Amino acid sequence: MKVGVFTALLSQLPLDEVLKKLKAFQIDTVELGTGNYPGDAHCKLSMLENSSALDEFKSRLADHGASISALSCHGNALHPDADRARQAREISRKTILLAERVKIAVEMHPGFVVYSPETMLRLRSLTGPAVGCNYDPSHMFWQGIDPIAAIRILGDAIFHVHAKDTQLYTANLPLTGVLDTNPYTDERNRGWIFRTCGYGHGAEWWKEFASTLRMFGYDNVLSIEHEDSLLSPEEGLRKAAQLLNEIVIREQPTAAWWV
């Protein structure tokens, strides 16, 4: 298991500077946006038609000892604006082609094609094993779904994991409900907000989360996604990296000698 970062939070920096910065946090795995909502600051789909640019891109990653955990292109393929819907579909299609391995991870979120373990498994039953989820526990928290219990339901349908936390404000929930439409920056009045890892749930919770992922077959990246409006991207990244570097399980278990 390893710690990674969704680099959209560092879009103002060129890729080389991003990779150098992350190395200081003991991170060499990145999730890159390719367009739609995350933007494409660090990975251009034009490389599909430009083999030299693609080779240069791969060399740059190799020079920094970096690997890619996922290509991210969150967009609304069913947008009521036909042009925006067409663009979202095209970016998604090209992202799949750039990835070459067509393992598609859909993030569960109300308003998306799937939003819960039940809807995720229903989609998977219709599409086959190439479709699974990008598992973000923060979206389970605010729906009232126990993220650790949900791992036991999803099992090998988990392809990728976002490391992001949620803090619930129970005093506001009777008014707003979980489908809160207040601005994310209106923290005082929201029923919940996204938090940096450790600020919604402590290290003990994250240790159990990582352990249960391994128990059910996921031993890949925990990709930090910073969306905490109370912390700067720099501080949020630093604090999440510190916590996760302590709790991820890096080595494979040995034989159970005590059995």
Concatenated DSSP letters of 107-145: EP-TTSS--SHHHHHHHHHHH-TTEEEEE-HHHHHTTT-
pTM of the model: 0.94
For residue 124, the model assigns a pLDDT of 96
Read off the amino acid at residue 208: E
Q: Domain containing 239: what range? A: 2-166+194-247
Task: Give the rounded percent of residues in the chain with a pLDDT score beyond 90.
Answer: 91
Return mean pLDDT, the chain. 95
Q: Average of pLDDT values for 160-176?
A: 97
Q: Average of pLDDT values for 122-138?
A: 96
Q: Is residue 176 part of a domain?
A: no
Q: Is residue 173 part of a domain?
A: no
Q: Is residue 178 part of a domain?
A: no
The number of beta carbons lying within 10 Å of the beta carbon of residue 89 is 16
Q: Is residue 78 part of a domain?
A: yes
16-27 per-position pLDDT tens digit: 999 999 999 999
Read off the amino acid at residue 153: I
Partners of 222 in the beta sheet? 3, 161
Q: Is residue 116 part of a domain?
A: yes
13: left (phi over 0), alpha (psi -120 to 50) or beta: beta
- Is it the case that residue 103 has pLDDT exceeding 90? no
Cβ distance 104 to 96 under 8 Å?
A: yes
Q: Is residue 257 part of a domain?
A: no
- For 2, which DSSP code? E
- Is it the case that residue 69 has pLDDT exceeding 90? yes
Q: Average of pLDDT values for 5-23?
A: 96
Q: Is residue 131 part of a domain?
A: yes
The two tokens of residue 184 are 């994310």
Find the CATH number of the domain harbouring 59.
3.20.20.150
Q: Which of 215, 223, 209 is CA-nearest to residue 162?
A: 223
Considering only residues 99 and 109, tell me which one the structure prediction assigns the higher pLDDT.
109
For residue 30, the model assigns a pLDDT of 98
- Is it the case that residue 101 has pLDDT exceeding 80? no
The number of beta carbons lying within 10 Å of the beta carbon of residue 7 is 25
If one counts the domains in the chain, the total is 1
Report residue 165: phi and psi, to 5°. Answer: -115, 170
Report residue 82: phi and psi, to 5°. Answer: -60, -40
The two tokens of residue 31 are 């999730």
For residue 111, the model assigns a pLDDT of 87
- For 252, which DSSP code? P
Q: Is residue 175 part of a domain?
A: no
